Structure 1
Amino acid sequence: MAGLRRYRDVRATTIGAPPEAVWRAVLDQVEVLGQPDWYVRAINCRDTRASGPRPLAAGSVVPGFQVTAADPPGCLVLDGVHRFSVYTLTFRLVPDGDGTRLEAHTDATFPGVLGAVYRLLVIDSRLHKVATWSIVKRIRRRGEPVRSRR
């Protein structure tokens, strides 16, 4: 398709916890991805209200995303559509020694002139990288065990 530019990115970290603990942290964080809700409405996301099974499974919806695949505790795939983009956010959890490697994969396209402008504002400005890294860091904080202080 002419004029359609694809964006791909991966943000990753290692978390000192087993995949099951990190999976719970991913689910908790995904539940709040579509906030603020005014933004989800403003960009005309296909999915604007939480619905479907909980804990998240294929068919669940969080604002801005629909869960298209869930394979606990290894992979969660979220798809979304709004007026400027079609996108997928995939969380992969891979056992890594005594912990878990968490990867957040983004794959998006930005059709048309408005899509190109949105890409400039959100992707080329690095805002998306900052936002995705922030999500990964929040998952890491939720997933790591609390260490007792002495």
Structure 2
Amino acid sequence: MAAPAPRTWDALTAWIAHTHLGVSSGFAHLVGTEPRGAAGTLPQPGSTIPGFAVAESVHGKRLTLVGRHRFSRYALIFSLAEHSDETLLSARSHAVFPKLPGALYRGLVISSGGHRVIVRRMLRDIGRSAERR
């Protein structure tokens, strides 16, 4: 993105706080997310949004969110690398999908390509926000 790391970090954390990564309270209840709701102040360690808790927060460098629900245990790691006045923002996800229900959920969300589309859209929206700031 054509924005320095501090602006990109602010855009990232504001976007997460505003959108809750697209996890509604209804979905959180339906699949039994832990954590279930929002608490604390993002991006402080231990703060939460539905489905995610901040496990690690290194200002301007890395944000690690973790969570679980009936079908999966997961982590979403955002990394920022600054180069002059531009920042490379990347997102990596790691998940375990136990037993048959987990495998079915994985097929629905990951294997369908839906997860990839959502992550690309998320990074694009955060980048646009960072560039406008």
Distance 1:134 1:48 in 2: 24
**Residues 42 and 48, structure 2, Cα contact 8 Å, conserved in 1:** no
SS of corresponding position for 1:123: helix
Q: CA RMSD in A?
A: 1.2
For residue 26 of structure 1, the aligned residue among 12, 15, 26 is: 12
Distance 1:108 1:55 in 2: 22
Residue 32 (structure 2) aligns with: 44
Q: Which runs of 4+ in 1 moved over 3 A?
A: none
| Larger RCO (CA under 8 A, 6+ residues apart) | 1
Gaps of at least 5 residues in structure 2 are none
SS of corresponding position for 2:129: helix
Distance change >3 Å, CA 103–CA 85, structure 1 → 2:
same
**Residues 4 and 84, structure 2, Cα contact 8 Å, conserved in 1:** no
Alignment-mate amino acid for residue 11 of structure 2: A
Gaps of at least 5 residues in structure 1 are 1-14
Q: 1:42-78 deviations in whole A, cap 9, x for unaligned?
A: 11101121102x2421111011100000000100000
Count of residues in correspondence between the two structures: 131
Q: Which has the larger radius of gyration?
A: 1
TM-score (norm 1): 0.83
Give the fraction of aligned pairs with identical amino acids, expressed as a percent.
34
Alignment-mate amino acid for residue 145 of structure 1: R
1:114 aligns with 2:90: no
Residue 132 (structure 1) aligns with: 119
